[in-house]
Amino acid sequence: MRSTLPFLLTIVLASSLPAAAQTNPAQRWVAEADRLQSTDAAATFRLAQQAIPRLRAPSDVKTRMKALELRCWAAAEVAPDSLIAFAEAGVADAARSRDDDALGQLRVCRGYGHEQAGRQQEAMRDYDFGAAAGERLGDRDLRASALVLRGELRYHRGEFTTALADLDTAYRLFAALGDRRHQRYTLNAIANLYADSRVAEYDRALEYYRQVLVADQAAGSKQGIATGYFNLGATLEQKGKLEEALAQYRRGLAMDQERGDAEEVATDQRAIAVVLYKLGRPAEALAILDRALAWFRKTGNEETIAQARLSRGVALRMLGR
């Protein structure tokens, strides 16, 4: 299943930059990076990176911590190979500065880097630290951020009960903060858990996916709407409702084509093709798979190439070729 938005790019939630931002260029850069954090990772990274060396005065500590957090999360998008190094530098600086809130945020960011690198135990330790720090400090932003990521990690590890507890708590915290974007993300994560074949509560998953879709439509989030259609299609497919699944996948494809997202278009095409050959329409499936496979080959992504080739092989076999 897909996630509804790039959560990691909007995880630095609270903004408390000092008034000096009006006169100090580095302070202004951080204020601009903060404004752009949910829409432009490259600009956020660049502005934070250039500001950090210029924020060494005692009065600059809070802004420097903010810049370190912004740089860390933006690096997850624009410099993923360096994410842990940036996180480590931030953690060390926050510890020296005795800024417990920044330390918690940067530990969570480091945890995300560890998770992406496949080091789940290290990631869990950092998420645990962030969740505990957020609760101790009364920082709902920090606690919610740590809990939603820990909940997703627990879900992927098959720890469904504790995963759901984390995600439910994160959802309530985001609701209390009035943070609708992250409410949608967290609700989608809960739906993903219910849609997992190991849980197989498909009707509940569909209920939550529909709630997320309505919220994304109200917010005008085209990415979220496309994701919603895809997730509804995937869950309906798991329930064996193939015609309904096909309709949802096609809605998602149309939205992704409108958005110009070639990767998601190819993913949608493969999903549609699989449903088509399940419906006994392998010739239609093959034509669509050829288009998807051509794009996947351009990316050089061996995993998606293999998946598309496997699906293509099924269609060819059904055609006796």
CATH number of domain containing 23: 1.25.40.10
pTM exceeding the 0.75 threshold for the entire prediction: yes
Amino acid making up residue 291: R
Q: Chain-wide mean pLDDT for the chain?
A: 93
Contact 98, 68 (CB under 8 A): no
Question: What is the C-alpha end-to-end distance of the chain, expressed in Å?
Answer: 31
Domain annotation covers residue 14: yes
Domain annotation covers residue 307: no
User: What pLDDT score was predicted for residue 62?
Assistant: 95
Domain annotation covers residue 204: no
Residue 18: is its pLDDT beyond 70?
Answer: no
| Domain total of the chain | 1
Residue 220: alpha-carbon gap to chain centroid:
18
Domain annotation covers residue 74: yes
In this prediction, what percent of the chain has a pLDDT beyond 70? 93
Question: Cα-Cα-Cα-Cα dihedral of 126, 132, 133, 135, to 10°?
Answer: 150
- The domain of 138 spans 1-158
**DSSP character string of 151-201:** HHHHHHTT-HHHHHHHHHHHHHHHHHHT-HHHHHHHHHHHHHHHHSTTT--
Closest listed residue to residue 128, CA positions, set 155, 152, 160, 104 = 104
Domain annotation covers residue 85: yes
Domain annotation covers residue 209: no
Contact 263, 292 (CB under 8 A): no
- Across residues 136-157, what is the average pLDDT? 97
Residue 293: is its pLDDT beyond 60?
Answer: yes
Domain annotation covers residue 123: yes
Q: CA 56, CA 88: separation in Å to the nearest integer?
A: 18
CB atoms within 10 A of CB 23: 8
Q: CA 171, CA 145: separation in Å to the nearest integer?
A: 10
Q: How many CA atoms lie within 13 A of 79 on its CB side?
A: 18
Q: pLDDT digit string (tens) for 165-200?
A: 999 999 999 999 999 999 999 999 999 999 999 999
Residues 6+ apart with CB under 8 A from 43: 32, 33, 36
Domain annotation covers residue 199: no
DSSP state of 57: S
Q: pLDDT digit string (tens) for 89-127?
A: 999 999 999 999 999 999 999 999 999 999 999 999 999
